[in-house]
Chains A and B, each alone.
Chain A
């Protein structure tokens, strides 16, 4: 965590302060009592009734944040998280619906299938850069849309729930689900995500591979001189990134509502909130986890704030963006003043 905050503590404080000011102004402008709104936000995020919901948000937000932080650590931006997430989810649903194995094995197979689907799709984006010369930023992004269209087609036609007019797949068979942990809708998927965070942390801080990645992030030219095989690294990092996104997708459909609903993984903007968390923390493992937790709490608290004060919960999305804008700006300013540009 030290490398997140070193020289950035001031920037973080400025950003949080700015978001607080913006929120207060917007709340006052809509006629709400800011004090009540903040109280509802905090209670909604951390109170006994709200905290399970925060944890439920934490799974996709933290999962996607880590997925995007992995390549970001080497300075590579994977903008195709949505496609990889959705492919992982739809693969898990297909396996869950059609596997002839007992429920327990089916769940394992579905998770593995989700990871593999996300990983190979992200690897495809990496190959587009390394073999075909299309920048990763663009190849990952462009590949995302056909994946979302494919998933949308599959749940509307071959996998469609015949008893429903909603664009959703059939419900997974009884037992094909991740066990809950007794906190709302949270499943053991939370621990799977946390385990990946720990692995990321250890690899990043303690292994030669992690050092290679950070060195590439700090100076791609120097890393190339030092003999790092950039195409191979790109492929590995993107596969890991997409695999994590696929894991998140699988976890999401193997918990409530136990099916794939078209748009349900896209419209809450998990991928973009996750990307912002990773960017906020400079992709450091612990910092990314903290930022993701903060954003998950903010998003979930927004529901209570809306209920109590009638302030649209989109306010919390605005706040997250405002924090990033001010953090980026004040980081840039501090760096520039420090003269180490």
Chain B
């Protein structure tokens, strides 16, 4: 097996949908909402992205459709949990189930097909070559020539970091997550901030879904998120809900996936490659568990 730029480029592609979903999870976590509906919300985005692209003939309309549909879908969690006081885990499990059923149902009623939908006329996102960077040896092939949403995901990391740590809204959001009573006493609306976090998170999941269905490939398949939303939940935990941490956690997963596929070339069975990212993530969690546990004990979140 050779370690070459293509390997790292593959890792970056693999991590992008997870990164979007994990940023969504981090945002919710910061607002004090434990969101494990990322898997389903992303799947809704995959379908809406493909449907939007197919009916408009433009991949970007597909991206917008994915963001809108996923944001709307995440309202179930916002209304159910924030307004009506439902248990977020129960709601999330039902939402994931709903997304699987709903997208399969729509696949059959809208496209009249089962299993998957792809068509040569379906518009994907294509690739962007970054001027100048594309010509740099090693770095060029790794960093250039990806889907535009991949670059957007890095902007989202930076944007979320600035928002959370350098903007009053982020400060208030963290306050809502860490001490809702105090936030309320200071006149900060817990409801409004949690709604914001969940719905913006939904739109981010939609971007992840669009990248998966229109960026990495150009098709919709039933249950195509295949556990990526769950990995995102883990990435939030591993990255301590900080944008950079979440990025590194998602990168670890992307590298494991890319390495796994590369190892197939030297005779490792495909199933071992499939399992590799989960095992690597679990090991990473062991190694960082002390840190996580300390933080959880301080905050009393997540372990439940």
Contacts and interface: CB of A to CB of B under 8 A. Distances in A.
A134 interface: yes
B127 interface: no
Contact of A325 (B91, B227, B293): B91
Contact of B271 (A153, A322, A331): A153
Interface string A69-86: 000000101000000000
Contacts of A279: 90, 93-94
17 contacts: A137-B303, A139-B282, A142-B279, A143-B278, A269-B100, A273-B97, A312-B108, A314-B105, A315-B101, A315-B105, A317-B105, A318-B101, A321-B98, A324-B91, A324-B93, A325-B76, A328-B86
A13 to B, nearest CB: 16
Contacts of B90: 279, 324, 328
Contacts, number: 144
Interface stretch (B77-85, B189-197, B244-252): B77-85
A325 B108 contact: no
Interface residues of A, number: 49
A19 B65 CA distance: 26
Q: Which of A146, A153, A275 has the most CB of B within 10 A?
A: A146
A273 B304 CA distance: 22
B281 A142 contact: yes
A333 B93 contact: no
A325 B98 contact: yes
A77 B269 contact: no
Interface in A302-332: 312, 314-318, 320-322, 324-325, 328-332
Given A312-B109, A318-B105, A325-B94, A135 B86 contact: no
Interface of B: 36, 76, 79-81, 84-87, 89-91, 93-98, 100-102, 104-105, 108-109, 227, 230, 233-234, 237, 269, 271-272, 274-275, 278-279, 281-282, 285-286, 289-290, 292-293, 296, 302-304
Contacts of B87: 328, 332
A138 B285 CA distance: 9
B97 A321 contact: yes
Given A314-B105, A321-B97, A145 B227 contact: yes
A7 B234 CA distance: 35
Q: Which of B272, B281, B282, B289 has the most CB of A within 10 A?
A: B282
Nearest to A133: B289
A138 B233 contact: yes
Closest 9 CB pairs of A and B: A317-B101, A133-B289, A332-B85, A321-B98, A324-B94, A332-B86, A149-B275, A153-B271, A328-B86
Contacts of B296: 135
Interface of A: 26, 30, 75, 77, 128, 132-135, 137-139, 141-143, 145-146, 149-150, 152-153, 156-157, 269, 272-273, 275-276, 279, 312, 314-318, 320-322, 324-325, 328-333, 335-336, 341
A132 B282 CA distance: 10
Contacts of A330: 84
A149 B271 contact: yes
Nearest to A77: B89
Nearest to B277: A145
B178 to A, nearest CB: 19
Nearest to B105: A314
Nearest to A279: B90
Contacts of A324: 90-91, 93-94, 97
A157 B269 CA distance: 10
Given A153-B269, A317-B101, A77 B304 contact: yes
